[in-house]
Structure 1
Amino acid sequence: MTNENERLELEKINNQIISEFSKTLEMFSLNKTEAQLFVTLYLNGAPMTLNEMRDALGKSKTAMSYSIRRLLEFNLVERVFQKGVRQDLYEARQDLYKKFMKTYVNRWLDSLNLQIDNLADIQDTMGNCPNDEKKLLEHKIEEAISFHRSLETVFSKIKKNDFL
């Protein structure tokens, strides 16, 4: 009976680790399932199939498939080969800080560039606005672009300075 109690206690602790660690990862724009899956793969210590992931998290195989694709896109997991195993196997990459920071910074930079381009496009279409309104709107757009460029500078420095 003590073996069963020990197993249940270890399972409880494992679930607490997954819950807490995944909260941190959600701050990096992973959804809850993606974060839980990454932590599960990270803690598992061995590659897992989609079926094993499904069983470990109690989610659908479709949810696991979608989440693993997203984690692959972010370069947070990798597909691995094991002789004799027919199903795809995945494992978490181990260099967490660099991977998450690189992904996070690149996503911010992509988003900032898109916003700057969109604001500039809006500015270009303002030809039909009355002069007084146009000047105020142009000023506000310039402030918004300046704000986005300031953020872009900060994230570019982070990316450039060997933090990643």
Structure 2
Amino acid sequence: MSKKEQLEALESAKNTVIRSIAETMDLYGVTPSIGRLYGTMYFRRESMTLDEMKDELGMSKPSMSTAVRALQEIDMMKKTWSKGSRKDQFVSEKDFFKFFFQFFCKMWEREVKINLDAINQTRTEIKELLKQNDLDEEVREEAEHSLKLITDSTHYYYWLEDLVKSFHSGDIFDLVPIPEKETESE
């Protein structure tokens, strides 16, 4: 097999992973084309400029800029400095565990804050409503039922808050250890 054929075989093999990454990126709120960019950058040893990425993927510079920004927002790509270069350089996050923690913890923390704030506000409003002496019995029953539901739901948000803390502290690995890395011979 010639060197050219070997390189083509290697690119074909890497493209299988790139396609699978692109296919699953909707989980993180990004499009397949942004996933292809991430997959391509994942295999790169060195940083790339927007122009290099644009040429590699055949996308327009504005589309590439948007894609890079989207990946930076979810901590999958970061800007780096390269001596002698005046253009911005970018590298992908290669540590999936680090990315997972950053992405999901950020989402879960947002979910907890938004929903606990809403629950606390709603609790206050319902309790005020329940203080009314002339409250219709049907409205009172519905208010009490609603108050019980939202109070019960806080258990989930406090659990989720504890889960996030276990990721930040590393305690999660006591329950679910990171498996040993595979070697090439496996």
Alignment TM-score, normalising by the size of structure 2: 0.68
Aligned match for 1:156, one of 135, 150, 161: 161
Shift of 1:35: 2.9
- Shift in Å at residue 110 of structure 1? 0.5
Distance 1:151 1:49, change over 3 A: farther
1:109 aligns with: 109
Question: Which amino acid counterpart does residue 155 of structure 1 have in structure 2?
Answer: L
User: For 2:145, which of 139, 148, 153 is the aligned residue?
Assistant: 139
In the TM superposition, residue 83 of structure 1 has moved relative to its aligned partner by 1.9
Q: Counterparts in 2 of 1:1-150, with a 5 A limit?
A: 2-122=2-122, 127=129, 131-133=137-139, 135-140=141-146, 142-144=148-150, 146-147=152-153, 149-150=154-155
Question: Which amino acid in the other structure matches residue 102 of structure 1?
Answer: Q
Gaps of 5+ in 2: 174-186
Cα offset, 1:18, TM superposition:
0.7
Q: Map Cα deviations across residues 63-115 of structure 1 (whole Å, 9 max, x no partner).
A: 22122223223333221111222211000133321222232122122123213
State the distance in 2 between where 1:38 and 1:150 align.
37
Distance in 2 between residues matched to 1:113 and 1:106, nearest whole Å:
11
Q: How many residues align?
A: 163
Q: CA deviation at 1:7?
A: 4.0
- Could you tell me how far apart the structure 1 residues matched to 2:141 and 2:113 are? 24
Q: Return the TM-score normalized by structure 1.
A: 0.75
Q: Higher relative CO (CA 8 A, sep ≥ 6), structure 1 or 2? A: 1
Distance between the aligned counterparts of 2:40 and 2:106, measured in 1?
Answer: 25
| Bigger-Rg structure (1/2) | 2
Q: CA RMSD in A?
A: 3.1
